Amino acid sequence: MMANGRVVWITGAGSGFGSALAERFSMNGDVVVLSGRSAGSLNVVAQKIRSNKGTCEVIPIDVQKVASVRKAANKVLRAYNRIDVLVNNAGITAFKSFEATSEREFSKIVSTNLTGMFLVTKSVLRAMLKERQGIILNVLSYAAKTTYTGSAAYSASKTGGAAMMNVLREETRGKGVQVINIYPGAIDTPMWNDRARRKFKKEMMTPWEISALIYEATVQKPNVVVEELVIRPQSGDLHL
What is the reported pLDDT for 200? Answer: 60
Laid out side by side, the sheet with 31-34 consists of 56-58, 31-34, 7-10, 85-88, 134-139, 177-184, 228-231
- 80 as an active site residue: the answer is no
Q: What is the DSSP string of 172-188?
A: TTTTTEEEEEEEE--B-
pLDDT tens by residue, 152-177: 999 999 999 999 999 999 999 999 99
Fold designation for 7-231: Rossmann fold (3.40.50)
pLDDT tens by residue, 45-84: 999 999 999 999 999 999 999 999 999 999 999 999 999 9
| Residue 63, number of CB atoms within 10 A of its CB | 27
pTM of this prediction?
0.91
Q: Give CA torsion, residues 30, 32, 25, 225, to 10 deg.
A: -80
Mean pLDDT along residues 1-16: 85
CA distances for 149 relative to 94, 99, 133, 146, angstroms: 11, 11, 39, 10
CA distances for 80 relative to 37, 56, 77, 97, 113, angstroms: 22, 12, 5, 44, 26
Q: Has residue 197 got a pLDDT over 80?
A: no
What is the reported pLDDT for 232? Answer: 86
What is the reported pLDDT for 240? Answer: 57
Query: What is the pLDDT confidence band of residue 108, given thresholds at 50, 70 and 90?
Result: very high
Select which of 80, 154, 183, 215 is catalytic.
154
* 87 membership: H or E segment, kind and range: strand 85-88
Query: What is the pLDDT confidence band of residue 114, given thresholds at 50, 70 and 90?
Result: very high
Domain extents for the chain? 7-231
Asked if 5 and 30 touch (Cβ cutoff 8 Å), the reply is yes
